[in-house]
Amino acid sequence: MAALASLMLKSRAGLLGPGQAALLDSVRSASKKAGGSSKNLGGKSPGRRHGFKKQDARMEDGRMERMESMEPISAHYTTAYPEIQPDSGYESKETADGQAKSPPAPMYDEDFVHKTILVGDSGVGKTSLLVQFDQGKFIPGSFSATVGIGFTNKVVTVDDVKVRLQIWDTAGQERFRSVTHAYYRDAHALLLLYDITSKTSFDNIRAWLTEIHEYAQSDVVIMLLGNKTDMNSDRAIRRDEGERLAREYSVPFMETSAKTGVNVELAFTAVSKELKHRAVQHPNEPKFHIHQYIEAQKEKSGCCSYF
């Protein structure tokens, strides 16, 4: 291109030799022919046009090769926003009809231990009740008055989950009362017993409830049990008296027999269900009512659980 420009400048100045003039004429003639061909093809050289096509094809082939070797696009999504990850399992918070979906129900922690305490006067059958529930048997005349305090662990299955109870058997004598007070503070449930053949043990229930309300947590689960129904012929407290006292203090009530096992398992199961529902209460789930549960179980069994 520089040599051609030099020839054109010399031509204008009249300095071209015979050979240089002939060369310049040849170049001009070839240029005119090329211009005519370009006009017929829309101003584009056939060779140049086809050259672009071949180059495009080569580029396409190269692009395909590169695409085949590329990682999937999903590999480059940021993990900062998991809700836009491909196949992330994210679901809209609205259903197909535009209604808001309920949040998932909270999971119950099966490793959590609920401290449950048996309280009441000495001789009402607290230890026998615990043995009946734990071992399913009654050992007559084998227990003297409990001295101090002891416990056993028991797992109760309710609603397909395991509820762990740590059940404490306390001494009912007045001289151990201060020890019992210390265990009220972190108790989750209290089973308060009286002996249906002992008016004194029933009359003392109010004093026990006063202590419970003073030392225990305000949301502790309380159940009143009238024990020793197997000694019905010696009954000193009518069933309706126990029911009336339970209604006065708004606590569930039933009569039990540590000897025959009547309502023993039901008492602990009802308490376990109440503890479990309190731990994982779903906002849209109906509230569990321990009183209604006891009544429903009474109707199913046709037996003597009461409120």
Is there a contact between 194 and 202 (Cβ–Cβ < 8 Å)? yes
What is the mean pLDDT of each successive set of 10 residues along the chain, which is 307 residues long?
Answer: 61 63 68 54 45 46 46 40 40 54 71 95 93 90 59 92 94 64 90 98 96 94 97 97 96 95 94 89 57 64 50
DSSP string of 51-80?
HHHHHHHHHHHHHHHHHHHSPPGGGGS-TT
Burial class (CB in 10 A: 0-12, 13-18, 19+), 26: exposed
| pTM: predicted TM-score of the whole model, two decimal places | 0.61
Q: Which domains does the chain have, with CATH numbers?
A: 113-301 (3.40.50.300)
Q: Which residue has tokens 């309920």?
A: 102
Q: Could you tell me where the DSSP H helices lie in 14-161?
A: 18-40, 46-69, 126-135
Is there a contact between 258 and 169 (Cβ–Cβ < 8 Å)? no
